Each structure stands twice: as C-alpha cells, then as structure tokens.
Amino acid sequence: MATSKEDMQNEKLTFRKFEDGDQNWGGFNNKIFKEDTSHKCPTYVHRTPPCQGSCPSGEDIRGYLDIVRGIEHPPEGVSMQEYAFRRSTDANPFPSMMGRVCPAPCQDGCNRNDVEDFVGINAVEQYIGDTAFKEGFTFDNSAEMTGKKVAIVGGGPAGMAAAYQLRRKGIASTIFDDHDELGGMMRYGIPGYRTPRDFLNNECQRILDMGNIETRMNTRVGRDVSVEELEKEYDAVLWALGCWTGRDLPVEGWEETPNCVSAVKFLEQFNKGEMKYTAKKILCIGGGDTSIDVVSVSRRIGTIADYNEAPEAVVNGEASHADHDSSKNIPCELVTLTALFKKEEMTAAEHEVEDAIIEGVNLMNEVMPVEIIRDDSGRATGMKFVDSTWENNAPVAVEGGKEYIVEADLIVAAIGQGGNLEGLEDLNNGRNLVDADNVYRVPGKENHFVCGDIVRPHLLTTAIGQAYIVSETIEKHFQHIELKKRPKVDVHHFNLQKKLEETGLAPESYSADKYQDDGQRGTFQADYAIHNYEDRSSQEIISTDHMFLGHFEYTPRNLRDTDVPSSDEVLGHFAERQTSFEEEQAVAEANRCMSCGMCFECDNCVIYCPQDAVFRVKKDHQTLGRYVDTDYSKCIGCHICSDVCPTGYIDMALGDG
C-alpha cells in the first residue's frame, strides 16, 4: 500500500538512501537464490566502527554501548555499570567530564546518521561517569611496580591521563603543576556549570588513589624546579604543559591596547573565583567552544551599576573581586560574539551556540575584524568589522560588503592558544609549542616525551588520546623495545581472544600429539583455534556500504534534559547545563547503536539461511563475537547471510577468486 500524503507530511519515515544505478543487478551472480560460483562461505570479520575511529582518544564506544544495552555481559560479580565504566576508562579516565564537554566527533562519524540521527554517545558516557561517582568505582592498581618513575609537567587532562596509564603499567610518576588544583583546562578553562567541580574532583582523586602518583602543586618547572633536577631525579620527563597563552588578534595595535585580552586569561580568572563581574559591553572574537564560554560567563556574572574600573585589571590578575557580593550584579548591556564562519560551520558544538543565543548573546557570523576603535587615551571603545568569506584557508573581505561597528569596553580574543615556555626556551620550536615525533618523543632529547595541547592545541580528548600513546612509548623505552609503527586505526580494540578468556572459553593449547592428523592444514573443529574469524579492526573502519540499513527502524534520539536559562534568567544562573540520564534512558539510547562491525545477535543470518548452515553457538559457548557459526558442509555460498547482516560482521570468504 502506498504511503499516504498525510503520513509523508507528518511522519519522519525510515528510509535508505540509494544512488543512481543501485536498482540494477551488477550480474546474475548477485541473485541471492542462486549459489555463489566463487565457493565462498561466511567469515565473521571485526572492523572498527566510525564512532571509535573518529574519537581522538580511541574509546571503545561500541563496546560500552553494547555493555549498557546488555549485548555484552559482564563477568560474574560485576555490574553492568561498573563493566561499562572499566571499558570506557580503558582509554579515557574522565567519562563524566568528556560526556559533558567533548564536542563529540564520534557522533559526527556515527553510521546511524545514515538512518536518521546519531547515537547520543556523550550522554551515555556521562551516565557511565556519573554512576561511577555515585557508586564509588575505583581504578585497578594491581600492576606490579617496575621501579621506574616519570616527572609529568602539567596536571591537566594530558598529564593526569598519562599518570593513570603509566600507573596501570607499573610506572610511578610525580605531577608538577603551577596551579592550586589539578585539572588544567577542565578546571581553569571551562566554567563549573559545564564541568561540575564535585565530579571533576572525584575523577582527579580517583587517579591519585591508585597510589604511586605524587603531586607538587604551585610549582613551575623552569622557575621553582630546574629541568636538570628533573633529569637527575627521574627516569623520564613528560611535558604535558598545556597552552595557557591566548593568540593575539591580527589587527593593528592589539598588543598596545590595554582592554584587549585573551580568552584564556578571562576564563582562568573567572574559574579561580577572582572575577565576579565584568564590563558593561563585552565583545568576543572566536567561534569555538572557548568563545562560547566567554560570552556565556559574561551573561551569567553581568556587571555592576556603578562600574568604573578598568575591566582588564581583573583579567590580568592585577585586581580581585573575591570578596564581592554578586547579588548586586546587573546584566551586561551588550555581549557580542563574532565568527568568521556561518553559524552552522562554527567549530563550537551546535547546542552550545544555540544555548548562548537563548541566553541573550548577540551573534554575528561571516564578519572579520579590521580595526580597533580607540579613544584619545588609547583604550578600545569598539571594533570595526566587514562582511567576509573564507577562501584559501583565510578570511577575505567581501567586495562592496557592509561595515559594522560593535561597541565594547572589553575585547576578548578566542582565536587560538599557545604555550608559555618561559624558562624552558630549549623546548620552544619557535611557535611556543614543543616538537614531537610520531610516538611523542621530543626529538633530540633523550628521555624526554611530550603530549597534549603543547604539541598542537586541540580537544581535551585529543590530549587524553596522546597520553595513552606516550605511556606506551615510555613503557617500551624503559624496556629497551624498538618502537614500531603504530596501527593504521590506532584505537582501543575489542579483542576476541581476551573475551573468550574472560568467559572461560579460551582455545586450548595446541598439542601435536592430539592434532597430528590435521597436518596443520587448517581446521573448523579443533579447539586450539578461533575459527571462522578475522580481525581487521586495526586496518579498517566499517562504513554503511557493508551494512544492511533496512534492518533499522526510525528511532528518535533520547535527549538529556538541559537547564538553559533565558536572557532574563541567565544572570547568576550557575546550575549545571546537562542532566545525566537515568538507567532506563541510557539503555534506550545505547539500544540505538547499530554495533557496526560486530555481531549484536539479531538472528537474521540464522533465520534467512536457506540451507540451515548458519547456526547459533551453544549457550555455554556463546560470548560477544561468538554468537553464530557456520557448518561448511551445508553452506552453498549464496551470501544471503552477508546480505542481511545489519552490522556488516559477515564477509563471504574462504573461497577462490
């Protein structure tokens, strides 16, 4: 029956996208009721899903979603929540923080976008992290200590993640940081309504509680401690400094204009509790998440009625509002954010941009700053902008476009960051960053390693991913193992061998006496081998071309509740934005995962096999990735099982051609 016009208008229907020519047979061998003359039979092939391939820290996202939804079962005595926590934190020890603030490139890569909408991965991750906090989950610290010790310079996400990964390998560390508290940009660069401090404190303390991780706070290497002292006392030095200086706006007179400041300093002073109000008219130039934080903070703290101070004084640490009573604050007159790109092309998370607009921020897109407007004293009173486009990786003024003057008492640049390498000039590569090779060694400096923003400013999750790689580099360095090229798809892979061992189904040791009749020419019955399985996860990311999308019904995303105040309510509103899922919501959202590249036990291959060649493995031999098997004596190579496999886990192989 044809779909009614009313349904077409009112319902979002499940559909599959076809390209021209897809309706034509490529050859008679594709007709599924004719046996395949290649004589190929099904092989179960594990590939990396694009969510994980898009995650800079390489989290096993499909893995923890499958755990939450109940496809992968935890060992006896371990709850679903704890098992999901352990899988998630194998790559990233900050699930609460990342679930809240990561812009989620995993969701952009999610194959579910080809059905209707991505899986809310970061919402499930927040649920995992928040549950871990409430349940008091801890990290395993059973690794035997090697006697090696690393000096980690920087207590932000990169340094903390490195300390965690090194401790898991039995390597002790001392973290040096020039702030009062650990957390780096998670604490001093992002406001607390996005990274609640109780959850942040817990995730930092959980790492320290592993033991053999010391801290030296309010200590700057290169000033309070020399590099030579570190080299003498420690077996290696890991530079995880972060980037604490803002990039100047490339307009004439920026450095000489006192009330032109960096977003990094602005946010650091707010997060330290030193800045409790700001100027009446705030202008921020950016377009990324940092710029959103600047304008959102400005709307929340507001200004004061008798404001008559230099707003840059508190930003530069020359003044303090620590004793100020914020109940007397009033809204800023004007808070403006400008970006070079279209609204939909801004690098900030889409929901963060929308939230800022709701909160009363004036957003201007596709405009470029060209001139600071200054008074006779040299202070900025505003900025001139012109319409612009983006060409050849640079903004270009639109010929005949409009000019705009935006008034401002404080102008904030949020266009990039760099490192502060004062006292560490030998490390500076000329761009206020530190060079690294492909495994994060510092070139030309024995026993020196580096990770995080100081290599290349990027996402928090990027720094965490680099921390894992550098921890492996340091471990192999200590073991005098030659470093080989890392995998093409460098993520935390599912390992069927380990899963079989965990469930008591590990293959038995090979015995020549027992299996001498095999001639070692291959087998599909002997228990010393993992049969009918190929792991391509370190080489391939699975796309929907390998999958049967017709299996998946339209299922709307389960959204987290958010607390976004209106422009009239935003002043003094510091409640958390993102409300964590309850278990039922987390399970429902995890169920939307298509388990790309791994069986999720749908039974399609068993049901549709015309020869009954594909069968379920006996229950006492089942585990993730080992749910079905094939009787090759019955298989005729018709490839129906492969055609109807929703996840792309089945390939036709084992034959000629």
Residue 561, phi then psi, degrees to nearest 5:
-70, 140
Q: What is the DSSP string of 573-620?
A: --S-SBPPPPHHHHHHHHTT---TTS-----HHHHH-TTS-EEEPPGG
Query: What is the distance between the alpha carbons of residues 449 and 478, in angstroms, rounded to a whole number?
Result: 12
Look at residue 484 in the predicted model and tell me its pLDDT.
82
- Cβ atoms within 10 Å of 34's Cβ, excluding its own: 12
Q: Which fold, 246-418?
A: FAD/NAD(P)-binding domain (3.50.50)
Residue 15 has pLDDT above 50, yes or no: no
pLDDT in tens, 166-211: 999 999 999 999 999 999 999 999 999 999 999 999 999 999 999 9
Please tell me the predicted confidence (pLDDT) of residue 483.
87
Quick one: the chain helix, strand, coil %, rounded to 5? 30, 15, 55
C-alpha 162/C-alpha 158 separation (Å) is 6
> Using 50, 70 and 90 to split pLDDT, how confident is the model at 275?
very high
What stretches of 88-231 adopt beta strand conformation (E)? 149-153, 172-176, 213-216
- Please give the Cα distance from 476 to 73 (Å, whole number): 33
Average pLDDT over residues 554-558: 95
Q: How far apart are CA 589 and CA 229, in angstroms?
A: 51
| Domain 27-48+532-553+592-657 falls under CATH 3.30.70 | yes
Taking alpha carbons only, the member of 254, 210, 244 closest to residue 93 is 210
| Residue 527: pLDDT over 80 | no
**Which pair of structure tokens corresponds to residue 177?**
């940081």
Indicate the average pLDDT of the chain: 92
Burial 355-390 (b: 16+ CB within 10 A, else e): bbeebbbebebbbbbbebebeeeebbbbbbbbebee
pLDDT of residue 30: 53
Ranking 218-222, 505-509, 588-592, 603-607 by mean pLDDT, the lowest is: 505-509
pLDDT in tens, 126-148: 999 999 999 999 999 999 999 99
Pairing of strands 614-616, 260-262: unpaired
Residues 652 and 38 sit within 8 Å (Cβ to Cβ): yes
Taking CA 574 as the corner, what is the angle to CA 571 and CA 578, rounded to the nearest 5 degrees? 125
Q: Which of 527, 484, 480, 532 is nearest to 507 (CA)?
A: 527
State the pLDDT at residue 637.
87
At residue 386's C-alpha, the angle toward residues 284 and 259, to 5°, is: 35
Query: Which tens digits make up the pLDDT trace of 90-136?
Result: 999 999 999 999 999 999 999 999 999 999 999 999 999 999 999 99
Look at the domain 149-244+419-478 and name its fold: FAD/NAD(P)-binding domain (3.50.50)
Region of poorest pLDDT, from 151-160, 259-268, 511-520, 546-555:
511-520
Residues of the chain with CATH 3.50.50.60: 149-244+419-478, 246-418
